[in-house]
Amino acid sequence: MNTHRLVALLLTLTLAGCGQRDESIPPALAELHQRAARGDAAAQLDLGLRYVTGKGIPSDERAALRWIGKAAAQGNAAAQFELGSYHTLEPHRDYERAGDLLRQSALQGFAPAQTSLALLYLTGAGVPVDRIEAYAWLGLAAEQGERDALELQPGLQAELSDAELQQARQRAQQYRQGSL
């Protein structure tokens, strides 16, 4: 009987120490989880995306947002893009938040974020409609070979005047140089 109490006490103490940990980390992901817990932004993003997709771990939207959010808060451009994209979807739609996150990512040169931000400017979702700004971001993404930007850029270019195209190129140059 004393052995059972000792085992119960040890089990209780072990579980109490696991309060903030993800409860269902498979052994194959233990090292990734440890790196993420130590603040490795790439590991946080990877773990968060695994929670999104259910790859190697049960899908869990809250855990996904928590880990991707930690990576985004550290300035990880891919995480900022993922979180910004999340805020463009129902029922979580918040275009202003999406625009802020996508802009942070785009300013770091992340081509998918540049294209997504351009689309927000084209539609006026969370930002003012601004075809010049949209073209600037599409141009930057297209320079990196981003497929969607390459497809969208010619149509928008045909709609802009030479003066507007020049403005867009100047803005793109400022963003390339890190100027706002």
* Tokens standing for residue 38: 């130590």
- pLDDT of the chain, 180 residues: tens digit per residue: 333 332 232 223 233 333 344 556 888 899 999 999 999 999 999 999 999 999 999 999 999 999 999 999 999 999 999 999 999 999 999 999 999 999 999 999 999 999 999 999 999 999 999 999 999 999 999 999 999 999 999 999 999 999 999 999 999 999 998 765
CA distance 73 to 120: 22
CA-closest candidate to residue 142, choices 177, 109, 103: 109
Rounded to two decimals, the pTM is 0.84
Report DSSP state, residue 26.
Answer: -
- Burial readout 151-175 (b: 16 or more C-beta within 10 A, e: otherwise): ebbeebeeebeeeebebbeebbeeb
In the structure, how many helices (H) and strands (E) does the chain have?
10, 0
Give the number of other Cβ atoms within 10 Å of residue 148's Cβ: 17
